[in-house]
């Protein structure tokens, strides 16, 4: 009987201890611990994804534990283990989250190595009432030298609504000269409103040069070109692009009076190409929905196709571009940037902007590709009808709409290959070709790209100088 009582008491004690150890006060989950970098004059904390560090910036300790944080300890040592800075604190007031700036270390030079040893404990009663502990060690190599940007060549000017090409090199000073790989983190080319990719190429001299095809979209009233380079230690350089600007591109406005018969014809063609919402009952409501919603969606969809074949690696050959000549002999209609103001019974019912031009001919002429590219899209897109999007180099895309049919094409299109034939699909009013050019998803003036002299002066001569960059002068 006595043994049964003792066994029962033992079970009760065992179960009690088991339950006690599994209460929240004895939780065994260690605290979350992260180190972040806060750059000078910046309010945002940045994740650390590199071993390079500029000591003018600040390392922040961020820790969290649901049971509360009890203490932290920080020890910063050099590569020989010598303690440079040490800091610790017992947190008497229980707090779930801790975010503190760690002390800065003075008199560090490029190439110096430091180690941050950080630990935090929580208020849990586990581990014999010592709590759970998380330890973290980060190794940093000091680099305070900013990257240097040299503009090699640029287009003579950029016109409102047009394009330009910039070629530049980046010199990584200080510690980075001793490394084999590029430690540039970000290269941002901007027109003052939009950002553009800069694509790295290795030229004939074995030098890495960056090429950025940029745009001045007609939606932007000004152009302020800059190149910003940020390295792995968050050192930053920003320079102005030395290029002239030309605002003298005249944009025309036209008042278009829509008659009842014209509206009925438009709606019939619209309903043949687009699925309309059922709550639109009148023809003018359907027209406004098309003009304000469908047009915008179509243009945005086309603009996004350039993302399909973006360059991700350093290319070994700097390209050259041919003048675009999609149709041998045909008249053009409309002008890029033209704005149309629509009125119905003397009331304003909407407006639209022309983002391309039209080639018009009497028969279904062949549409020819002018530059090597990749087929990013072929299909029907609303008002543009049967359409093909070709992605070329440097984020350049060419658009071919109103085709008589959706063509069968290979993925890789070579220069002089046939794209399709002119047609009257979509909202075309006669046999024609809609032609447009995009630069990294921005519609630009296609007439520039139809001129051999403009291509040679503003594109290929820049590419020639980029290819010859680094030639030793005799």
> According to the model, what pLDDT value does residue 23 have?
45
> According to the model, what pLDDT value does residue 315 have?
85
430, 424 in Cβ contact below 8 A? yes
- What residues have CB less than 8 Å from 11, skipping those under 6 apart? none
Q: Which residue has the tokens 């070109």?
A: 225
Separation between Cα atoms, residue 434 and residue 428, nearest integer Å: 8
Separation between Cα atoms, residue 324 and residue 355, nearest integer Å: 17
> According to the model, what pLDDT value does residue 330 have?
82
Least confident window among 9-13, 27-31, 253-257: 9-13
Q: What are phi and psi of 397, to 5 degrees?
A: -130, 145
339, 251 in Cβ contact below 8 A? yes
> According to the model, what pLDDT value does residue 279 have?
87
> According to the model, what pLDDT value does residue 10 have?
59
> According to the model, what pLDDT value does residue 174 have?
56
Residue spans of beta strands (DSSP E) within 362-472: 366-368, 373-381, 385-391, 396-403, 412-413, 418-421, 432-439, 442-444
448, 163 in Cβ contact below 8 A? yes
- Mean pLDDT computed over 260-279: 82
> According to the model, what pLDDT value does residue 20 have?
41
Least confident window among 68-72, 73-77, 273-277, 414-418: 273-277
Cα distances (Å, whole numbers) of residue 169 to 2, 228, 451, 474: 89, 12, 28, 22
- Mean pLDDT computed over 378-396: 93
Band the pLDDT of 43: cuts 50, 70, 90: confident
Cα distances (Å, whole numbers) of residue 21 to 26, 68, 121, 354: 5, 17, 18, 72
Parallel, antiparallel or unpaired: strands 157-159 and 244-246: parallel
> According to the model, what pLDDT value does residue 268 have?
83
- Mean pLDDT computed over 219-244: 94
Give the tens place of pLDDT for each residue, 95-113.
889 999 999 888 899 889 9
Average pLDDT for the chain: 88
Of 358, 333, 335, nearest in space to 251 by CA? 335
Q: Which helix (H) or strand (E) holds 15?
A: helix 2-21
Count of beta carbons in the 10 Å neighbourhood of residue 411:
9
Separation between Cα atoms, residue 200 and residue 211, nearest integer Å: 6
- Mean pLDDT computed over 250-255: 90
Parallel, antiparallel or unpaired: strands 52-53 and 45-47: unpaired
Residue spans of beta strands (DSSP E) within 191-338: 195-196, 199-202, 208-215, 226-231, 236-240, 244-246, 253-258, 331-333
Burial 331-363 (b: 16+ CB within 10 A, else e): ebeebbbeebebebeeeebbebebbbbbbbbee
- Mean pLDDT computed over 46-73: 90
* Adjacent-strand bridge partners of 400: 388, 435
State yes or no: pLDDT of 406 exceeds 80. Answer: yes
Task: Using a pLDDT cut of 90, give the percent of the chain over it.
Answer: 60
Band the pLDDT of 9: cuts 50, 70, 90: low
Pseudo-torsion of CA 459, 464, 465, 468, nearest 10°? 160
290: left (phi over 0), alpha (psi -120 to 50) or beta: alpha
Q: Is pLDDT larger for residue 42 or for residue 10?
A: 42
> According to the model, what pLDDT value does residue 401 have?
96
Of 254, 294, 248, nearest in space to 273 by CA? 294
Separation between Cα atoms, residue 312 and residue 225, nearest integer Å: 23
Separation between Cα atoms, residue 9 and residue 420, nearest integer Å: 90
Of 243, 212, 228, 201, nearest in space to 468 by CA? 201
Count of beta carbons in the 10 Å neighbourhood of residue 406:
15
> According to the model, what pLDDT value does residue 173 have?
62
Based on the number of CB atoms within 10 Å of its own CB, is 395 exposed (0-12), middle (13-18) or buried (19 or more)? buried
């Amino acid at each position: 009987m006595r043994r049964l009582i003792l066994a029962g008491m033992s079970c009760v004690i065992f179960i009690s201890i088991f339950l006690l150890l599994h209460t929240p006060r004895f939780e065994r989950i260690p605290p979350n611990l992260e180190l972040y970098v806060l750059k000078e004059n910046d309010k945002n904390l940045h994740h650390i994804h590199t071993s390079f560090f500029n000591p003018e910036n600040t390392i922040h300790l961020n820790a969290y534990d649901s049971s509360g944080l009890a203490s932290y300890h920080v020890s910063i040592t050099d590569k020989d283990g010598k303690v440079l800075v040490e800091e610790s604190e017992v947190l008497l007031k229980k707090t779930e989250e801790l975010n503190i700036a760690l002390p800065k270390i003075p008199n560090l030079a490029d190439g110096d190595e430091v180690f941050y040893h950080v630990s935090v404990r929580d208020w849990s009663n586990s581990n014999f009432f010592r709590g759970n502990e998380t330890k973290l060690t980060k190794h940093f190599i000091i680099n305070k030298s900013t990257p240097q940007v040299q503009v090699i060549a640029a287009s003579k000017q950029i016109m409102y609504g047009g394009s330009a090409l910039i070629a530049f090199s980046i010199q990584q000073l200080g510690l980075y000269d001793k490394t084999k790989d590029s430690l540039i983190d970000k290269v941002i080319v901007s027109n003052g409103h939009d950002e553009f990719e800069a694509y790295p190429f290795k030229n004939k001299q074995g030098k890495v040069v960056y090429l950025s095809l940029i745009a001045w979209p007609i939606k932007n009233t000004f152009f302020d070109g800059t190149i910003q380079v940020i390295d792995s230690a968050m050192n930053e350089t920003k320079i102005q692009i030395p290029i002239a600007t030309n605002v003298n591109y005249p944009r025309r406005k036209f008042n278009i009076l829509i008659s009842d018969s014209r509206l009925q014809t438009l709606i019939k063609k619209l309903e043949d190409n687009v699925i309309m919402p059922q709550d639109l009952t009148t023809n003018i409501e359907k027209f406004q929905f098309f003009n304000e919603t469908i047009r915008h969606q179509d243009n945005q969809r086309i603009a996004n196709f350039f993302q399909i074949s973006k360059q991700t690696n350093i290319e070994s050959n700097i390209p050259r571009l041919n003048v675009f000549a999609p149709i041998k002999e045909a008249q053009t209609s409309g002008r890029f940037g033209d704005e149309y103001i629509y009125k119905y019974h003397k009331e304003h019912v909407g407006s639209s902007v022309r983002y391309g031009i039209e080639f018009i001919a009497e028969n279904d002429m062949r549409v020819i590709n002018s530059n090597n590219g990749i087929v990013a899209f072929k299909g029907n897109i609303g008002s543009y009808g049967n359409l093909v999007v070709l992605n070329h180099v440097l984020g350049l895309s060419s658009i071919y709409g109103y085709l008589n049919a959706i063509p069968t094409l290979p993925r890789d299109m070579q220069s002089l290959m046939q794209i399709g034939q002119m047609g009257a699909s979509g909202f075309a009013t006669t046999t024609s070709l809609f032609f447009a050019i995009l630069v990294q998803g921005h519609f630009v003036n296609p007439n520039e790209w139809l001129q051999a002299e403009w291509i040679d002066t503003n594109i290929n001569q820049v590419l020639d100088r980029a290819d010859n960059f680094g030639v030793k002068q005799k």
